């Protein structure tokens, strides 16, 4: 006891000495650049923006500011949170992932309100539901939408043809208007193509089914609603393919091998096309896309934000609105497969071309309308954390054969606990 | 067992007794070697193939022809050599400091009694058990207070505060450095530091080589803390730079593996150099007194 | 038990006078003959304090302070950026009722046992064998240490591919013998086995080197004597090697306990490939270790207070385990 106290005093003394040192050194350390706002840093991660557009932004704004960009690998959120918390070496412009944006909203004061800088005038160019997700309740806009992830149904044209199903995207879309239709089609397809499965796992079904609604796990009044009908309905939908035996139950990297082999369809966002293409290049030309059952949901899609410490907000805002202008946003689709949040881009040549991987299908004809049809939903800061147990329990059903009813009870009780921990009532 | 006390001089007389099980021993060891290096070999296999080959079922196990292409891809995507240079600086500085600081403290703990010795040592052990992941945030705040954020030197102190080295060297010194030698040196008038520097250090070279490898590899592969604290993209370490290969919705694993392989090569060199040290220690090293 | 657990392993022979190459003389700062150290004469030991001070100063500033800060966090609710809110023991109450926390502890303990036991046994056997051979020593030593240097990411991909349920090498081999595919990466127990195998693979060579260093310090004359008594290799191993190596074995047990209970990156990389999933640790959270759960709570869920509580509750558990471990291992000496 005596000793730990001594150690503690030592630590305290050293810390005190250290902070004294900083004071003594004045501003010699710190953020590196001068305070005249001529140097701006931009943090993003590989694939978040088109590297070409970013490189052009540097030259385009060279007369006004020097833009330094850093593509950061690994855990981006952890790095950003840490620097924001410490308040030093904060970037002037930063990317924020779509799945993280809600958790940054309670700390909106750490960011500049983009509306003050002129976003209001531009906001009509971007999808309203996406913009709103980066807005606080009192209307502060912290994120400038980069891209979105409208979902659709990817399917294997060859397997469909073998089962005698019309393979035209519009026809398939008509066939799978509801989840029940989709699963029924799946059982038929499986009969004609033995050893194949309709969905890779049931979590992906649940994810989309939840995203199709306007309510998620926590409502605007900060109440837990993860035990209510809309979630239970999504859960029941997700269980169906499992009980029908058309679920491949893949929850690991074997997906990479399976996707070119025995998966009949894939439910996923626009960017998922690239996953499929990279994992199964040999299936080129055999895939098609159509609207997924019921309606589209969103998965992923990021934002740019300006932390409070930004050294030149006006120029920084000019830079991000240039990088994310519909024209440049469309180029992001070509360069990095990021699907623009600006609908005007969907009509641009960069996006309207046929895609050879999908047998020459113009996939924007599926994703464009999907993007606009995504419902306006409220995502609470703790939403991702509260959703996790549902995904876990769905995986438990697949891996351990846990009874779906037990899994539902456990999922709800755990979600409630997490919600309580996160201050949801 | 009391015989031990009489033979403490540990003079080997270059006699080797145990050889009857030679062949069996070699077979077992060889099998273990195969298991040990197989994933490493597979890293090379992956680096020479394409990502699709990696995910084939069963995976492709022969060398491919894509190595140069993958390496070019790596060099094109990240600043490989710049970040490697930074890593070398950090790893070398860390290793040298760890060796010095830890051996000095370990020597003191092993051979001297002083008030508070047990408590201090126990504290060490206790704190080895605390996972330092949680310390990242306060550490960052501390670094920002002293203005080291973004600097390479911010990586060194946390790496030094690893108690394993002291624990390990103390263990080794207790048995490996005879008190008689220290007593003799004392009688010859050697002070505390000379006993450490002239007698203890040379005798524990094998243990130091092991610790050196351990510390170097640790510094080389360290990832989470450098990622957080190195805010200046021009000054990052190899692992942080490598992590950039591993992002996006899909990962080009063959390229990642090429990067991993390139990053491991310098380690192999360092390893070979220091491993010599602990090999020497085995049969003809200072401990054996030949 | 004359010494408290904190003394460390090698101090034991000193008190017990057990076998071992260690010299059993009391440590003195001054040559023999001086009176026993007096409490107040601290100044006399300035050299010793100076010698250990660099480490402790760095330690205090960069480990002690942050770690204590984290203890403070365990009593707050904090999202990592906003203002902290003091919540007393609430986080620990949540912890008590959280089945996932207890699951993570069970997982950690199982993985720890499954990996530590084969690691240490294998390391001891390999070290003995390696010590006994004369040729290729250097090669073996390097080759067997390679796993500890291999990139964990590469290893995880490798293990993932080898043990893959549908397309893995192991199941392919089993298939040729007519055994149906084993769900390595979805059965809760097999997941732990795979993680434990991965850790065993990584750490056996490392512990082997530590044992080897110990073996090399054993005088060859002991073995000569044993041989003259007609002892075979197995008997020599159990009656001479193991007892003499006891302090070193204890050392590795402690180190392995600390490392094994902090397993984190292995399950993380092994099951991180599925980008969309929010649940870490693989199917059924069977690979969710306590540290991984901490990581998820603090960094993914932005619940730093809860994360701190997890770590501290777990820390207490490790301390208890190490003490028990140490007691058992040293108690054995008396028998």
pLDDT single digits (tens) A24-67: 333 333 343 444 588 999 999 888 899 899 999 999 999 999 99
Tokens of A193: 């193509």
Each residue of A95-131: pLDDT tens digit?
999 989 999 999 999 999 999 999 999 999 999 999 9
Q: Which residue has the tokens 């292409």?
A: B69
The question of ipTM being above 0.85 is answered as no
Angstrom distance (rounded) from CA A364 to CA A344: 12
Interface residue C278 vs chain A (CB under 8 A): yes
pLDDT score at A10: 43
Residues of A in contact with B145 (CB under 8 A): 15, 18-19, 22
Query: pLDDT band at residue B251, thresholds of 50, 70 and 90?
Result: low
Q: Nearest-CA distance from C267 to chain A in Å?
A: 12
User: How many helices (DSSP H) and strands (DSSP E) are in chain A?
Assistant: 19, 10
Taking an 8 Å cut-off on Cβ atoms, the answer to whether B164 and C255 are in contact is yes
Mean pLDDT, range A244-259, rounded to an integer: 85
Each residue of B194-236: pLDDT tens digit?
999 999 999 888 889 889 988 998 898 888 788 888 887 778 8
Taking an 8 Å cut-off on Cβ atoms, the answer to whether C172 and B57 are in contact is yes
Taking an 8 Å cut-off on Cβ atoms, the answer to whether A11 and C299 are in contact is no
Res A76 pLDDT > 90: no
Taking an 8 Å cut-off on Cβ atoms, the answer to whether A89 and B150 are in contact is yes
pTM summary value: 0.82
Angstrom distance (rounded) from CA C215 to CA C15: 22
Which of C55, C272, C297, C301 is the best mutation test for A, with the most CBs of A within 10 A? C301
Interface residue C144 vs chain B (CB under 8 A): yes
Q: Find the CB nearest A75 among B150, B227, B244.
A: B227
Tokens of C128: 């003995």
Taking an 8 Å cut-off on Cβ atoms, the answer to whether A257 and B57 are in contact is yes
Which residues have CB under 8 Å from C154's CB, separation 6+? B39, B40, B42, B43, B46, B257, B260
Residues of A in contact with B120 (CB under 8 A): 3
Touching partners of C (3+ C-beta pairs < 8 Å): A, B
Interface residue C265 vs chain A (CB under 8 A): no
Residues of B in contact with A28 (CB under 8 A): 147
3 state SS of A367: helix
Taking an 8 Å cut-off on Cβ atoms, the answer to whether A79 and B223 are in contact is no
Angstrom distance (rounded) from CA A179 to CA C314: 44
Q: Report the DSSP beta bridge partners of residue A70.
A: A43
Angstrom distance (rounded) from CA A153 to CA B105: 64
Res A199 pLDDT > 90: yes
Taking an 8 Å cut-off on Cβ atoms, the answer to whether C164 and A253 are in contact is yes
Q: Nearest-CA distance from A32 to chain B in Å?
A: 9
pLDDT score at A6: 41
Res B147 pLDDT > 80: yes
**What does pLDDT average to over chain B?**
80
Taking an 8 Å cut-off on Cβ atoms, the answer to whether A73 and B244 are in contact is yes
Q: Find the CB nearest A89 among B149, B245, B249.
A: B149
Interface residue B132 vs chain A (CB under 8 A): no
Res B132 pLDDT > 90: no
pLDDT score at A257: 78
Res A417 pLDDT > 90: yes
Angstrom distance (rounded) from CA B173 to CA B252: 47
Residues of A in contact with B224 (CB under 8 A): 74-75, 78
Residues of B in contact with A281 (CB under 8 A): 52
Q: How many CB atoms lie within 10 A of CB C100?
A: 22
Touching partners of B (3+ C-beta pairs < 8 Å): A, C
Q: Find the CB nearest C39 among B15, B37, B115.
A: B115
Taking an 8 Å cut-off on Cβ atoms, the answer to whether C304 and B54 are in contact is no
Mean pLDDT, range B278-285, rounded to an integer: 44
Res B277 pLDDT > 70: no
Dihedral of CA atoms C68, C71, C75, C79 in degrees, nearest 10, equals 90
Nearest Cα residue in chain C from B285: C216
Q: Find the CB nearest C301 among A85, A385, A399.
A: A385
Taking an 8 Å cut-off on Cβ atoms, the answer to whether C37 and B115 are in contact is yes
Which of A89, A299, A357 is the best mutation test for B, with the most CBs of B within 10 A? A89
Residues of B in contact with A17 (CB under 8 A): none
Q: Nearest-CA distance from A228 to chain B in Å?
A: 32
Phi-psi region of C146 (alpha: psi -120 to 50; beta: other; left: phi over 0): alpha
pLDDT score at B58: 63
Res A8 pLDDT > 70: no
Q: Which position has the higher pLDDT, A211 or B176?
A: A211
Residues of A in contact with B147 (CB under 8 A): 21-22, 25, 28-30
pLDDT score at B86: 94
Each residue of A139-162: pLDDT tens digit?
999 999 999 999 999 999 999 999
Taking an 8 Å cut-off on Cβ atoms, the answer to whether C283 and A421 are in contact is no
Query: pLDDT band at residue A194, thresholds of 50, 70 and 90?
Result: very high
pLDDT score at C19: 38
Q: Nearest-CA distance from C214 to chain B in Å?
A: 8
Mean pLDDT, range B74-93, rounded to an integer: 91
Angstrom distance (rounded) from CA C75 to CA C100: 20
Distances (CA, A) of A109 to A116, A377, C81, C83, C88: 13, 23, 10, 11, 27
Taking an 8 Å cut-off on Cβ atoms, the answer to whether B16 and C154 are in contact is no
Residues of C in contact with A394 (CB under 8 A): none
Angstrom distance (rounded) from CA C241 to CA C162: 36
Q: Which domains does chain B have, with CATH numbers?
A: 78-247 (1.10.3720.10)
Nearest Cα residue in chain B from A21: B146
Residues of C in contact with B58 (CB under 8 A): 167-169, 172
Query: pLDDT band at residue B9, thresholds of 50, 70 and 90?
Result: very low
Helical H segments across chain C, by residue range: 12-16, 46-59, 65-73, 90-97, 99-132, 137-149, 152-162, 169-176, 188-216, 220-228, 233-236, 242-261, 265-270, 290-295, 304-334
Q: Nearest-CA distance from C258 to chain A in Å?
A: 21
Q: What are the residue ranges in chain C where pLDDT is below 70?
A: 1-40, 153, 166-167, 272-279, 331-335
Taking an 8 Å cut-off on Cβ atoms, the answer to whether B242 and A88 are in contact is no
Q: Find the CB nearest B55 among A18, A85, A256.
A: A256
Which residues have CB under 8 Å from A356's CB, separation 6+? A284, A285
pLDDT score at C272: 65
Which residues have CB under 8 Å from C320's CB, separation 6+? none
Q: Which position has the higher pLDDT, C244 or A264?
A: A264
Taking an 8 Å cut-off on Cβ atoms, the answer to whether A252 and C273 are in contact is yes
Taking an 8 Å cut-off on Cβ atoms, the answer to whether A73 and B242 are in contact is yes
Q: Find the CB nearest C37 among B113, B142, B192.
A: B113
Mean pLDDT, range A225-231, rounded to an integer: 96
């Amino acid at each position: 006891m005596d000793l730990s106290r001594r150690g503690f005093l030592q630590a305290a003394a050293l810390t005190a000495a250290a902070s004294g040192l900083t004071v003594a050194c004045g501003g010699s350390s710190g953020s590196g650049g001068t305070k005249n706002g001529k140097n701006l840093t931009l943090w993003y991660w590989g694939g978040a923006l088109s590297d070409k557009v970013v490189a052009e932004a540097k030259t385009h704004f060279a007369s006004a500011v020097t833009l330094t960009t850093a593509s950061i690998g690994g855990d981006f959120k952890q790095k950003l949170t840490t620097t924001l918390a410490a308040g030093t070496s904060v970037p002037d412009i930063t990317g924020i992932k779509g799945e993280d944006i809600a958790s940054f909203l309670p700390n909106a004061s750490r960011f500049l309100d983009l509306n003050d800088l002129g976003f209001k005038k531009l906001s009509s160019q971007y999808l309203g539901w996406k913009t709103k997700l980066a807005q606080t309740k009192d209307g502060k806009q912290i994120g400038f939408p980069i891209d979105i992830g409208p979902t659709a149904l990817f399917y294997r044209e060859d397997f469909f043809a073998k089962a005698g199903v019309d393979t035209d995207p519009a026809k398939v879309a008509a066939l799978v208007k509801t989840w029940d239709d989709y699963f029924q089609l799946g059982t038929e397809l499986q009969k004609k193509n033995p050893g194949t499965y309709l969905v890779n796992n049931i979590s992906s079904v649940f994810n989309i089914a939840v995203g199709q609604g306007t309510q998620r796990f926590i409502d605007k009044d900060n109440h837990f609603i993860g035990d209510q009908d809309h979630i239970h309905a999504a859960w029941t939908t997700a269980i169906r393919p499992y009980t029908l035996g058309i679920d491949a139950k893949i929850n690991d990297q074997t997906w990479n091998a399976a996707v070119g082999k025995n998966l009949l369809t894939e439910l996923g966002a626009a960017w998922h096309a690239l996953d499929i293409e990279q994992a199964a290049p040999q299936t080129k030309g055999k895939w098609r896309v159509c609207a997924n059952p019921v309606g589209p949901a969103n998965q992923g899609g990021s934002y740019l934000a300006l932390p409070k410490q930004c050294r030149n907000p006006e120029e920084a805002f000019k830079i991000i609105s240039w990088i994310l202008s519909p024209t440049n946003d469309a180029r992001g689709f070509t360069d990095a497969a990021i699907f623009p949040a600006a609908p005007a881009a969907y009509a641009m040549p960069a996006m309207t071309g046929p895609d050879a991987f999908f047998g020459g299908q113009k996939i924007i004809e599926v994703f464009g309308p999907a993007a606009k049809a995504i419902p306006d939903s409220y995502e609470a800061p703790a939403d991702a954390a509260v959703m996790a147990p549902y995904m876990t329990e769905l995986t438990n059903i697949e891996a351990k054969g846990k009874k779906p009813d037990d899994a539902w009870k456990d999922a709800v009780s755990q979600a409630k606990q997490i919600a309580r921990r996160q201050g949801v009532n | 067992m009391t015989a031990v006390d009489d033979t403490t001089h540990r003079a080997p007389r270059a006699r080797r007794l145990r050889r009857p099980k030679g062949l069996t021993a070699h077979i077992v060891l060889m099998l273990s070697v195969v298991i040990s290096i197989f994933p490493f070999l597979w890293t090379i296999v992956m680096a020479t193939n394409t990502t699709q080959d990696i995910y084939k079922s069963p995976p492709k196990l022969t060398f491919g022809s894509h190595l140069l292409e993958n390496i070019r891809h790596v060099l094109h995507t990240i600043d490989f050599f710049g970040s490697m240079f930074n890593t070398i600086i950090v790893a070398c500085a860390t290793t040298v400091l760890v060796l010095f600081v830890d051996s000095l403290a370990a020597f003191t703990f092993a051979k001297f009694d002083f008030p508070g010795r047990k408590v201090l040592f126990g504290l060490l052990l206790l704190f080895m058990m605390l996972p330092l992941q949680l310390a990242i945030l306060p550490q960052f705040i501390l670094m920002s207070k002293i203005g080291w954020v973004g600097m390479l030197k911010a990586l060194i102190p946390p790496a030094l505060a690893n108690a394993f080295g002291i624990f390990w060297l103390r263990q080794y010194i207790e048995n490996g450095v005879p008190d008689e030698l220290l007593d003799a040196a004392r009688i010859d008038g050697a002070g505390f530091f000379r006993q450490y520097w002239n007698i203890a250090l040379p005798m524990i070279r094998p243990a130091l080589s092991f610790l050196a490898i351990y510390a170097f590899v640790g510094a080389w592969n360290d990832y989470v803390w450098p990622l957080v604290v190195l805010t200046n993209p021009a000054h990052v370490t190899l692992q942080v730079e490598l992590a950039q290969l591993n992002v996006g919705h899909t990962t080009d694993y063959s390229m990642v593996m090429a990067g991993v392989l390139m990053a491991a090569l310098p380690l192999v060199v360092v390893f070979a150099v220091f491993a010599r040290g602990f090999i020497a220690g085995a049969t003809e090293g200072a401990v054996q007194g030949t | 038990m004359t010494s408290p657990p904190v003394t460390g392993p090698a101090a034991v022979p000193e008190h017990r006078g057990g076998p071992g190459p260690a010299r059993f003389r009391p440590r003195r700062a001054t040559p023999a003959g001086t009176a026993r150290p007096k409490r107040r004469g601290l100044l006399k030991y300035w050299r010793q304090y100076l010698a250990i001070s660099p480490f402790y100063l760095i330690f205090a500033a960069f480990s002690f302070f942050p770690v204590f800060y984290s203890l403070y966090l365990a009593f707050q609710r904090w999202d990592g950026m906003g203002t902290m809110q003091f919540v007393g023991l609430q986080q620990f109450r949540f912890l008590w009722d959280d089945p996932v926390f207890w699951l993570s502890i069970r997982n950690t303990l199982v993985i720890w046992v499954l990996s530590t036991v084969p690691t240490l046994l294998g390391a001891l056997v390999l070290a003995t064998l390696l010590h006994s051979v004369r040729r290729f020593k250097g090669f073996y030593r390097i080759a067997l240490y390679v796993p500890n240097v291999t990139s964990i990411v590469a290893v995880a991909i490798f293990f993932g591919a080898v043990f893959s349920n549908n397309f893995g090498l192991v199941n392919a081999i089993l298939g040729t013998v007519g055994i149906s595919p084993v769900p390595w990466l979805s059965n809760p127990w097999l997941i732990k086995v795979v993680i434990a195998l991965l850790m065993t693979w990584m750490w056996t060579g490392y512990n082997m080197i530590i044992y080897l260093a110990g073996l090399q310090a054993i005088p060859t004359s002991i073995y000569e004597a044993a041989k003259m008594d007609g002892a075979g290799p197995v008997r020599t191993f159990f009656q001479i090697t193991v007892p003499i190596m006891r302090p070193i074995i204890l050392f590795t047990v402690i180190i392995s306990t600390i490392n094994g209970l902090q397993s984190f990156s292995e399950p993380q990389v092994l099951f991180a490939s599925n980008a969309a999933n929010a649940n870490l640790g693989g199917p059924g959270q069977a690979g969710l270790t306590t540290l991984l759960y901490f990581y998820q709570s603090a960094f993914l869920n932005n619940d730093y207070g809860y994360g701190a509580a997890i770590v501290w509750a777990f820390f207490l558990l490790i301390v208890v385990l190490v003490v028990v471990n140490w007691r058992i291992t040293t108690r054995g000496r008396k028998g």
